[in-house]
Amino acid sequence: MKKPRVFITGLSTLTAAGDTLQATWCALQQGQSAIGPIEQWPLQSWPHRLGGEIKSFKAARMLPDKKLAKVVSRQDVLGINAAMQAIEHSQIIAYRQQLTDATQFNDETGVYVGSPGNKYCQQYDFLTLLAKTNGALQPFAEQLFSEVHPTWLLRILPNNVLAYTGIHYGFKGANHNIANHAVSGMQAVMEAYHAIISGQIERAVVVAYDTGIEPEALFYYDQLGVVSPDGIKPFDQKHNGTILAEGAAALVLESEHSVQARDALCFAEVLGGGSNSEAAGLFTL
């Protein structure tokens, strides 16, 4: 029996070095650094002020519907936009538009997402009120609905990227949202790969995204001792940590049958992968 094959037919990156795949690649080729002072938060008094920040961020421009900006977080915008770019790059929508009936196509197209999950940064809506009421529960509860935006709960959902990508494009195939810290994206790729070779779906949009430069994340990683105050110095005796950034990337994976049906351009083939855990916590080292 012929072994099922899975190909990559769409790619996207959204980074501090460039808000498209081409822009990021050009910046890398030219040796441009995307690390600089973080500007979206007032961090002048913080010891860690460097990061990879996407300066061109405009939520309404980056979403399929600008109304979504009210119900998703900054990191969700990055993930959704990366999915949109990869889908456009793959040309699967152009192919779908040629079909007499797209029902089967939609049923056989899945969305797999590597999500950073629900970080504390998404609870900032409450901080001003907590400070105002000095942490007293009674006045906090009395002013909650007038002080806190009513859509705060929607913005903290960890599967927003999966949901809104699937809804916007009408993809109804198998899907999975993985929130497993730094390996979420790679696990999403492998889950999509196995869904395709097992015949559950013919194609999948795979997305990974995160933002590590907001204050709560910086504070969290600073407490772990992994953030440098002055830059990245790999393989140097003066190495004192890393610099965090924000970004997203996406792939479109397709079965061999799907690729042949639309004569798609393939950029790579997924041959396999693996996953492991030391079962002792995220930061054993």
Which band of pLDDT confidence, cut at 50, 70 and 90, is reported for residue 285? Answer: very low
Q: What is the pLDDT of residues 45-82, one digit of tens each?
A: 888 889 999 999 999 999 999 999 989 999 999 999 99
The verdict on residue 61 lying in a domain is: yes
Q: Print the domain residue range for 110.
A: 8-118+157-221+232-248+257-270
| Ranges 79-88, 161-170, 228-237, 242-251: which has the least confidence | 228-237
Token pair belonging to 216 = 């709560």
In the predicted model, what is the mean pLDDT of residues 226-253?
92
Backbone angles phi, psi at 37, to 5 degrees: -60, 135
| Ranges 1-5, 7-11, 80-84: which has the least confidence | 1-5
Residue 89, C-beta contacts closer than 8 angstroms, at least 6 positions apart: 10, 11, 12, 21, 252
Amino acid at site 30: Q
Rounded distance between C-alpha atoms, residue 16 and residue 54, angstroms? 4
The verdict on residue 113 lying in a domain is: yes
In the predicted model, what is the mean pLDDT of residues 165-188?
95
Number of domains observed in the structure of the chain: 1
The verdict on residue 185 lying in a domain is: yes
The verdict on residue 109 lying in a domain is: yes
The verdict on residue 33 lying in a domain is: yes
Rounded distance between C-alpha atoms, residue 133 and residue 128, angstroms? 9
The verdict on residue 161 lying in a domain is: yes
| Ranges 6-20, 147-161, 249-263: which has the least confidence | 147-161
The pTM for the full model equals: 0.92
Burial of 77: CB neighbours in 10 Å, binned 0-12, 13-18, 19+:
buried
Does residue 120 have a pLDDT over 70?
A: no
The verdict on residue 12 lying in a domain is: yes
The verdict on residue 141 lying in a domain is: no
pLDDT at 75: 93
Local structure of residue 3 (DSSP, 8 states): P
Q: What is the CATH number of the domain that holds 76?
A: 3.40.47.10
pLDDT at 128: 85
pLDDT at 104: 98
Does residue 29 have a pLDDT over 80?
A: yes
In the three-class reduction of DSSP (H, G, I as helix; E, B as strand; rest coil), residue 36 is classed as strand
